Amino acid sequence: VIEEAREMLSGEKAAERQKVLVDLIQNLSENIQAEEKEKDRKWFEGLESRFKNKSSYLRYSCQSRMRSYLRQVISYTSYVDPTARDAYKKITDLMGEKLKSMKYNGSYFDRREEKALRLCTPEGWFSCQGPFDSDHCPLKHSINPYSNRESRILFSTWNLDHMYVSKRVIVPELAEAVKKRNGREVNWEYFYQLLFTMENLKLVNIACHEKLTHNLHCDNSRIY
């Protein structure tokens, strides 16, 4: 297959087909199945020495994104009504504890995990899930960060996009819910799901990451 693709590439002038064939040759030629550092040292170039296999790095990459979302929630504390800050902090502490117990949802990027816990195939292929207002990716974006160093780096530009935007919607509405609870118990696990799980997250290629206002709001029936 690789040789036939090379022959097609040498005689083909269409830029679109050239790109497809180059990607095909590159991916088929790489040692995708290799997991340990000793079997694909080029893949690990530029990474800290503590990473000994590909899945552990991709898991760490996903965990880092989750930690950044948690920091956003915590950093909003200073904007919360002073009378509600203690209650808000208790909720962020609960979120942090649950996220830690779930190992910061690093399984999403780990191809060794069970099917229900990961977003990729057992070989490490990820598919773009499309813009927030679409059920699919119109351009069929896909990537395998396990294949080579270049794909690993490029995968860092893919976004775990919040359909309900975290900074403009989820966090402010959480703060408002705490302020107006009037003795009611805030359903913090609902907000946790919106912030940190695939209930509200979509993995998207940067070209499908819509940064326009989503005009989506939390479900009032689930806030308390």
Predicted TM-score (pTM) of this structure: 0.84
| Average pLDDT of the chain to the nearest whole number | 89
pLDDT grade for 214, boundaries at 50, 70 and 90 = low
Q: Could you list the beta-strand ranges (E) of the chain.
A: 126-127, 142-143, 159-162, 201-204
Beta-carbon count within 10 A of 135 CB:
7
Compute the distance between CA of residue 21 and CA of residue 5 in angstroms, rounded to an integer.
6
Lowest mean pLDDT among 21-25, 140-144, 166-170, 190-194: 21-25
At 3 the pLDDT is 78
Rounded to an integer, the average pLDDT of 23-48 is 85
Rounded to an integer, the average pLDDT of 124-152 is 91
* Angle subtended by helix axes 85-101 and 54-75, to nearest 10: 170
At 119 the pLDDT is 97
